[in-house]
Amino acid sequence: MSVKVRVPSALRKLTQGRSELEGKGGTVREVLDHVGRDNPELLARITEDGGEIRQFLNVFVNGTDIRYEKDLDTPVAEGDEVSIVPSIAGG
Amino acid sequence: MIPAPPPITGWTWPEEVGRAVLREVRAVPTEEACGLLVGVRREDGGVVVTSAVPAENVESPGRRRRRFLIDPLRLLEVEKSLRGGNEEVVGFYHSHPDGEPLPSEVDRTFMELWPNTLWVIAGITEGGELPQIRGWSLDPDPGEVNEVPVAPSESAPAARARPPHPGVPRGARRPHGAWTDIESPRGKKED
For residue B21, pLDDT over 50 is answered with yes
Strand (E) or helix (H) holding B27:
helix B15-27
Looking at residue B175, its pLDDT comes to 55
Is B5 inside any structural domain? Answer: no
- Please tell me the distance in Å from B136's CA to the nearest CA on chain A: 13
Looking at residue B128, its pLDDT comes to 61
For residue B69, pLDDT over 70 is answered with yes
Residue B179 or residue B99, greater confidence = B99
Is B125 inside any structural domain? Answer: yes
| CA nearest to A31, candidates A13, A10, A6, A48 | A6
Residue B56 or residue B83, greater confidence = B56
Residue A71 or residue B4, greater confidence = A71
Q: Choose the closest CB to B104 out of A17, A57, A91.
A: A91
Question: Is the Cα torsion angle B56, B62, B64, B69 positive or negative in sign?
Answer: negative
Is B10 inside any structural domain? Answer: no
Q: Are the C-beta atoms of residues A16 and A24 closer than 8 Å to each other?
A: no
Q: Are the C-beta atoms of residues B191 and B80 closer than 8 Å to each other?
A: no
Instruction: Determine which of B64, B65, B76 to mutate to test the interface with A (most A C-beta atoms within 10 Å).
Output: B76
CATH number at residue B51: 3.40.140.10
Assess B99–A contact: CB distance below 8 Å, yes or no. Answer: no
Residue ranges and CATH numbers for the domains of chain A are 2-86 (3.10.20.30)
Is B135 inside any structural domain? Answer: yes
Alpha carbon A79 to its chain's center = 15
* Torsion region of A71: left, alpha or beta (phi above 0 gives left; psi -120 to 50 gives alpha): left
Mean pLDDT of all residues in B46-72: 97
The radius of gyration computed from the CA coordinates of chain B, to the nearest angstrom, equals 16
| DSSP state, residue A9 | G
Q: Do B140 and A13 count as a contact with CB atoms less than 8 A apart?
A: yes
Assess B31–A contact: CB distance below 8 Å, yes or no. Answer: no
Is B136 inside any structural domain? Answer: yes
For residue B109, pLDDT over 60 is answered with yes
* Closest residue in chain A to residue B101, using alpha carbons only: A91
* Closest residue in chain B to residue A20, using alpha carbons only: B1
Q: Residue B74: helix, strand or coil by DSSP?
A: helix
- pLDDT per position as a tens digit, B154-177: 544 444 445 444 444 444 555 555
Q: How many domains does chain B have?
A: 1
| DSSP state, residue B95 | E
Is B137 inside any structural domain? Answer: yes
Q: Do A63 and B76 count as a contact with CB atoms less than 8 A apart?
A: yes
Task: Give the separation between CA B60 and CA B177, rounded to whole angstroms.
Answer: 12
Looking at residue B156, its pLDDT comes to 47
Q: Do B190 and A90 count as a contact with CB atoms less than 8 A apart?
A: no
Task: Give chain B positions within 8 Å (CB) of A8.
Answer: 75, 79, 89
* Structural domain range at position B102: 30-153
Looking at residue B168, its pLDDT comes to 42
Strand (E) or helix (H) holding B79:
helix B72-82
Task: Give the separation between CA B22 and CA A48, rounded to whole angstroms.
Answer: 39
Q: Average pLDDT, whole number, for chain B?
A: 83
Looking at residue A5, its pLDDT comes to 98
Mean pLDDT of all residues in B33-61: 96
Q: Do B105 and A83 count as a contact with CB atoms less than 8 A apart?
A: no
Is B15 inside any structural domain? Answer: no
Looking at residue B46, its pLDDT comes to 95
- DSSP letters, A18-84, are -SEEEEE-SBHHHHHHHHHHH-HHHHHHHB-TTSSBPTTEEEEETTEEGGGTTGGG-B--TT-EEEE
* ipTM score assigned to the predicted complex: 0.91
B54 beta partners: B35
- pLDDT per position as a tens digit, A8-41: 988 988 999 899 999 999 999 999 999 999 999 9
- pLDDT per position as a tens digit, A45-61: 999 987 899 999 999 99
Looking at residue A87, its pLDDT comes to 97
CB interface of B with A, residues 1-30, below 8 Å: 1-5
* Closest residue in chain A to residue B63, using alpha carbons only: A91
Q: Are the C-beta atoms of residues B179 and A89 closer than 8 Å to each other?
A: yes
For residue B181, pLDDT over 50 is answered with no
Q: Grade residue B191 by pLDDT with cuts at 50, 70 and 90.
A: very low
Q: Grade residue B134 by pLDDT with cuts at 50, 70 and 90.
A: very high
Is B138 inside any structural domain? Answer: yes
